[in-house]
Structure 1
Amino acid sequence: MGIHGMMTYVVEHKQFFTDLQLRETKVIIDGNNLYHRLYFDTNLDLRHGGDYDSFTDITNKFFETLTVCDIRPYVVLDGGSDASDKKFTTLKERAQEKILSAYSLSRGGGGSVLPLLIREVFKQILTKLQVPFVQCFSEADREIVSLANHWNCPVLTFDSDFCIFDLKAGYCPLTYFQWKNICTRKESQDCYIPAKCFSLERFCNYFGNMNKTLLPLFAVMIGNDHINLPAMEMFFSKVRLPVGGYGQKGRKHSRIQGLLNWLSRFADPAEAIEDVLKYLKKHKEEETRQLLCASMAEYEPSSVNLEDFFQNGLYETETAKKLELPQWICSALAKGLLAPFISDALVLRRTILHVQVENMQRPSSHVTALPIRQVIYRLLLNASEGSGHTSVRKHSTSPTPLLCEFDRFQKALGKSFVQVAALPGNFCSDQYSPTTLNEVPLAERLLLLLETLQVTASDLETVPGLLQLPMAVTCFWIRYSAPKVKLQHMKALLLGIVFGELHKIIESQEPEALHAEVNKIVYDQFLKWKDRKSQKEVLELDTAHIFCQWQCCLQMALYLNQLLSTPLPEPDLTGLYNGTLVHRLYHELKSASTPENLLSASPKMNQLYCNMVRVVRCVIPAEFFQKKKPKSHKKKKQAAKQVLDKREGATVEVLTSCSINNRFATFMKED
């Protein structure tokens, strides 16, 4: 949720906060808020699809700091959209804002758009660090409040709604949580993190010892992400709000100040509501009263017991029970083993696809991954054909299920209805439903995944298990990407994966290990390429678009793999894609540079690269990357041939150590 203008209003009043020295305590962290702030507040790349390794480093440091101060974090993540759809209008508005922000970034302007896979990366980091986390069924605010009050510990977020909730141990805004400025107490040498805590008591005292039970009514009247009552505009147009001595900074802050002053005169919400209704037309009174009371209930504590989840792994919610969702799906969602995308598709038959910084003149990058999504939808919506789930059964008026997708169309958010396709190969759709999907034999689930991605197990056997899904995705991407993937795109992507593997070796091995010194030299050279970027460098839109399509395919392949209970190992996303480096490597390759030559000094990395190239060779026709010769004058042909021969010679030279045969030599030619 969120109250428009509230956070900026509050932070201007230092008297609402108390100073804290946080240590030796549990803390409940709003996970969605945290990964947004960690990415946006640390100047990470926003234009090239994300630098997940840099984000991982920052996130690791954040949690390491908490450990030093003996702060025990519990992370709570939002889930899918609420089944009641009360926030749908806000979600569409935010999606439209992100599209315009992505367009601005693509043209060299400002904006804030998270990389596509950042949430999955964040969950993997939490798992590796063994930080307890839960993914709620829908929005997490009320469940955060209930757990924090049960444990009597503070909440860490930057959500203005937490100025309304009655928290026993208070709310620490992330902007005032100085985790990079760790301090030591002189008397005990104990470490602590300086922070500020929002005090509900101080806030209410500022407004004449206002009854704090009036605050949910204030939030509903001023407008939050869930409700914006037209009747309230009539109220504000007629009432004279006592603003007091506050120096206004805009109409919104004036309204916040005035409404709080006005409400402070009443003893409780019931009395205040009756006074509000006096300003409305008679026929609107009862409807408005019911809407106000129902909306205020959003600020009541949740009945979900998150302590039971963190102690026993049990997560139960009345909403999921009413929807009759399979227990294994509910459990997987709570553990973060399935994405909110899955619950949105299953419960609402609707998904919103996140925009990336791409070529806005072309169709959305998500179009490329549509065949994968259609298989996901088929598996989920089979529930409408006999499983009895009320969430889906009510929609089943057509023999062919349809699902609504919201995606970018040019620079606007649009919707389309996707016809759910049959499963690939010889798979019979009727045999697969959400209820029993986790019971399907592993071999069948693996085959379904591979056939969806149009590869075979033998195609992937030469690469490590953790890279098999990314390599299957890479082959799928090459087939379906538009504009067409060039050889340099594919090589830059694979070299970026090699860099990620090198990073793991450098971080984990002993200095005297085999080839350690050489690996470090190779790794440092990759870093130099990565750091060579210029902030003023114009983004090559089609190149960005092509790499965005790879991320879309990887995202949906991850979701399908998760839905099938991971027949292929889930890859370590941190090292898979470094947008800044991959774009730089593409430019190096395009300018006739041969960064692959560097790998010859590192036998293990060279072999990995060659094996990944071999996977592509096995799946993609040899002529795919050959450039068609244009009809031109003889001299132009000869000049072009000389340039091409020079670059092809360098390309084939580095690949000879990969045992490339004559057939594949033509495959590697691209200018």
Structure 2
Amino acid sequence: MEDYGQSDVNLEDFFQNGNYESEVARKLELPQWMLEALAKGNLSPFISDALILRRTILHVQVENMQRPSAHTVALPIRQIIYGLLLNTSQNDVTSPSKQSNKLPVVREFDRVQKTLKKSFVPTTVLPLDFCKDHHPLATLTQVSRSNRLELLLETLRVKDSILQPCPSSLRLPVAVTCFWTYYSEPKVKLHHLQALLLGMVFGELHRTTSSPDPEVFHSKDDKMLYDQFLKWKEKHFQKLLDLDTAHAFCQWQCCLQMGLYLNQLLSTPLPEPDLTRLYCGNLVHRLCQELKSAHAAETLLISSPKMSQLYCDLLHAVKSTVPQDFFQETTTKTKSRKEKNKQAQTTRQHATLEAQPLCDVNNRFASLMVED
């Protein structure tokens, strides 16, 4: 109950003058830049929970409860966040005095099927290049942008050169999408990725067509395509919710959430995207149905060359981070191989029957002598 007592912070002084003084915050001995960022909402409470309480709660979405939690795929990102907050460096591993001590851990509350479970997650040792100067949390904002960007992109498993053709506002979501595509379980399908990227294109269309700024140019083709996206968004399907598709997009949202938190903790080396225009669940699920039927993603954008090029840039960026055969369907190959084996078996049986003596034709038990 004491945790929910009245705060000693003068909120009027904070909102009018930006002054923030808290006795509780001073006792926590947090870096000044972090106190200011938390007060202004530039850092999530997830960060302060992990740092102060060493405890985080991972909220459950509408996902497939029979599969592992959607948060599982984003675990490597969270471990880097914990490593930054708890100052886990190479010294913790190489120092003889600390070899007997285990790495710091954070308690995570997540689901296992429909049951809440607590697990102890060890932090990840930060890369040697980032730790060679041993940046403590208090001086994290003083690290060069290039080093902070390198750590962010290394965590998301993507190179900066791959993101260059993408608009600056979409580089972080595309980097997160690269991470999600590579680590998703079960493996993400091509139509999932295409629908997700088309949703980002829709967000760009919404930004340009609704902007009052006269310098933001949009053509009639863009307006026509935007209206078509709205029709897809409002289109009703008779099929029930595809749980595996919903689970895949929940995994992406978990990766995006932790990617945003890591980017914020590193003082935004990549611009923050406009989340209100980044993802629309109804539209993305509808597009999945469209793409699974007969439509190709490129044909949906044929009326707008500009947006078609944007989509191709986004798709190429993601595809360049996975093997070339990553999206090839293995079921078709397996099925065709089974059909060939069955045909060969049938041919052998016919050949064996034809090789039997003519007297066996009238013997109804002759087929029992046929070797398979």
Task: Let me know the Cα RMSD of the aligned residues.
Answer: 2.6
- Give TM-score, length-normalised by structure 2: 0.83
Structure-to-structure mapping, 1:396-545, within 5 angstroms: 398-424=101-127, 426-428=129-131, 431-508=134-211, 516-534=219-237, 537-545=239-247
Partner residue of 2:12?
Answer: 307
Structure-to-structure mapping, 1:259-338, within 5 angstroms: 298=5, 301-338=6-43
Tell me the secondary structure at the aligned position of residue 261 of structure 2: helix
Structure-to-structure mapping, 1:100-139, within 5 angstroms: none
1:319-368 deviation per Cα after TM superposition (whole angstroms, max 9, x unaligned): 11111111110100011100000000000000001110000000100000
Tell me the secondary structure at the aligned position of residue 15 of structure 2: helix
Kept after mapping to 2: 8 A contact 1:366/1:552: yes
Structure 1 pair 479/311, CA: closer, same or farther in 2 (3 Å)?
same
Partner residue of 2:355?
Answer: none
Structure 1 pair 430/636, CA: closer, same or farther in 2 (3 Å)?
farther
Of 329, 347, 366, the residue aligned with 2:52 is 347
Give the aligned residue type for 1:633: E
Partner residue of 1:550?
Answer: 252
Partner Cα distance (2:261, 2:132) in 1: 18
Partner residue of 1:249?
Answer: none
Q: How many residues align?
A: 331
Partner residue of 1:602?
Answer: 304
Kept after mapping to 1: 8 A contact 2:90/2:131: no
Kept after mapping to 2: 8 A contact 1:407/1:415: yes
Give the aligned residue type for 1:475: C
Partner Cα distance (2:216, 2:12) in 1: 45
Whichever structure has more helix as a proportion of its residues is: 2
Tell me the secondary structure at the aligned position of residue 588 of structure 1: helix
Kept after mapping to 1: 8 A contact 2:58/2:110: yes
Tell me the secondary structure at the aligned position of residue 403 of structure 1: strand
- Give TM-score, length-normalised by structure 1: 0.47
Per the TM alignment, residue 442 of structure 1 is displaced from its structure 2 partner at its CA by: 0.9
Give the aligned residue type for 2:167: P
Partner Cα distance (1:613, 1:354) in 2: 30
Partner residue of 2:338?
Answer: 632
1:193-249 deviation per Cα after TM superposition (whole angstroms, max 9, x unaligned): xxxxxxxxxxxxxxxxxxxxxxxxxxxxxxxxxxxxxxxxxxxxxxxxxxxxxxxxx
Question: Percent of counterpart pairs with the same letter?
Answer: 62
Kept after mapping to 2: 8 A contact 1:424/1:451: no
Give the aligned residue type for 1:547: F
Of 338, 343, 360, the residue aligned with 2:65 is 360
Structure 1 pair 431/591, CA: closer, same or farther in 2 (3 Å)?
same
Kept after mapping to 2: 8 A contact 1:498/1:608: yes
Kept after mapping to 2: 8 A contact 1:423/1:429: no
Partner residue of 2:295?
Answer: 593
Structure 1 pair 307/636, CA: closer, same or farther in 2 (3 Å)?
farther
Is 1:579 equivalent to 2:284 in the alignment? Answer: no
Tell me the secondary structure at the aligned position of residue 106 of structure 2: strand
Is 1:615 equivalent to 2:314 in the alignment? Answer: no
Partner Cα distance (1:337, 1:398) in 2: 33
Tell me the secondary structure at the aligned position of residue 462 of structure 1: coil
Partner Cα distance (1:515, 1:358) in 2: 37
1:391-447 deviation per Cα after TM superposition (whole angstroms, max 9, x unaligned): xxxxxx944111100011110111100011112463328713221111111111011
Residue segments in structure 2 that go unaligned for 5+ positions in a row? 92-99, 344-372
Partner Cα distance (1:553, 1:523) in 2: 27
Tell me the secondary structure at the aligned position of residue 185 of structure 2: coil
Give the aligned residue type for 1:575: R
Per the TM alignment, residue 302 of structure 1 is displaced from its structure 2 partner at its CA by: 3.2
Kept after mapping to 1: 8 A contact 2:105/2:123: yes
Kept after mapping to 2: 8 A contact 1:402/1:420: yes
1:3-61 deviation per Cα after TM superposition (whole angstroms, max 9, x unaligned): xxxxxxxxxxxxxxxxxxxxxxxxxxxxxxxxxxxxxxxxxxxxxxxxxxxxxxxxxxx
